[in-house]
């Protein structure tokens, strides 16, 4: 759980400087999802269940709105394994 929080916090901190920069945002989202995929796999795919997936998607969609990046949901869905 601690590593999960670190990954999300790092993404949120990094994203503050990416306002309205879609290529950089997409790259940051891909990196985030890769890290979450790895972490979830190391937890036997039990860390991110349906409830957490829904909450994460809500968080990502809100971040996308703030960053003016409409494609965040598609990017997440394309790369996630949970």
Query: How far apart, in Å, are the Cα atoms of 33 and each of 36, 74?
Result: 5, 12
* pLDDT tens readout for residues 27-69: 999 999 999 999 999 999 999 999 999 999 999 999 999 999 9
Contacts 24+ apart (CB under 8 A), 64-69: 64/25, 66/19, 67/15, 67/18, 67/19, 67/20, 67/25, 68/19, 68/20, 69/22, 69/25, 69/26
Task: State the pLDDT at residue 57.
Answer: 97
**Vertex 32 angle, CA 30 and 39, to 5°:** 120
Residues 8/43, Cβ–Cβ less than 8 Å: no
Task: State the pLDDT at residue 60.
Answer: 96
pTM of the model as a whole: 0.93
Task: State the pLDDT at residue 11.
Answer: 96
Task: State the pLDDT at residue 81.
Answer: 97
């Amino acid at each position: 759980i601690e590593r999960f929080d670190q990954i999300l916090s790092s993404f949120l901190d990094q994203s503050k400087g990416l306002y309205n920069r879609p290529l950089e945002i997409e790259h940051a989202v891909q990196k985030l999802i890769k890290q979450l995929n790895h972490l979830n796999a190391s937890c036997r795919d039990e860390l991110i269940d349906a409830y957490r997936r829904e909450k994460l998607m809500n968080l990502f969609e809100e971040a996308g709105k703030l960053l003016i990046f409409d494609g965040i949901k598609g990017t997440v869905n394309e790369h996630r394994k949970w």
